């Protein structure tokens, strides 16, 4: 899905992390709510969601939120 989503209009990027216990999180960034909704209607995405629910996921949570501000720090080398 990472390859497919990267080609979607309005997609800005994603971050993912998974713990040793298998619990993971993926955060996707989009230009607009309309871009998110279009991704939700994508046929290949919907098929992948169905397969994920049938094979891998017992539970998932989706949240849509607006990032009002972001900052980052990088330790100097």
Number of domains in the chain: 1
Which CATH number is 44's domain given?
3.30.70.100
Query: Has residue 74 been placed in a domain?
Result: no
CB 16 within 8 A of CB 24: yes
Q: What pLDDT, on the 0 to 100 scale, is given for residue 60?
A: 86
Which pTM was predicted? 0.80
Query: Has residue 39 been placed in a domain?
Result: yes
For residue 22, name the pLDDT band (cuts at 50, 70, 90).
Answer: confident
Query: Has residue 22 been placed in a domain?
Result: yes
Give the chain's mean pLDDT.
Answer: 93
| Residue pLDDT, tens place only, 40-64 | 999 999 999 999 999 988 888 999 9
Give the other-Cβ count within 10 Å of 52's Cβ.
12
In angstroms, rounded to a whole number, what is the distance separating the alpha carbons of residues 53 and 45? Answer: 12
Query: Has residue 13 been placed in a domain?
Result: yes
Query: Has residue 30 been placed in a domain?
Result: yes
Q: What pLDDT, on the 0 to 100 scale, is given for residue 36?
A: 96
HSE-up of residue 18 (Cα within 13 Å, Cβ side): 3
């Amino acid at each position: 899905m990472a390859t497919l989503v990267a080609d979607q209009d309005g997609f800005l990027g994603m971050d993912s992390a998974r713990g040793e216990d298998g619990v993971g999180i993926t955060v996707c960034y989009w230009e607009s709510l309309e871009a998110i909704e279009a991704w939700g209607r994508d046929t290949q995405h919907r098929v992948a969601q169905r397969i994920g629910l049938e094979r891998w996921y017992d539970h998932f949570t989706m949240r849509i939120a607006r990032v009002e501000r972001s900052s980052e720090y990088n330790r100097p080398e």
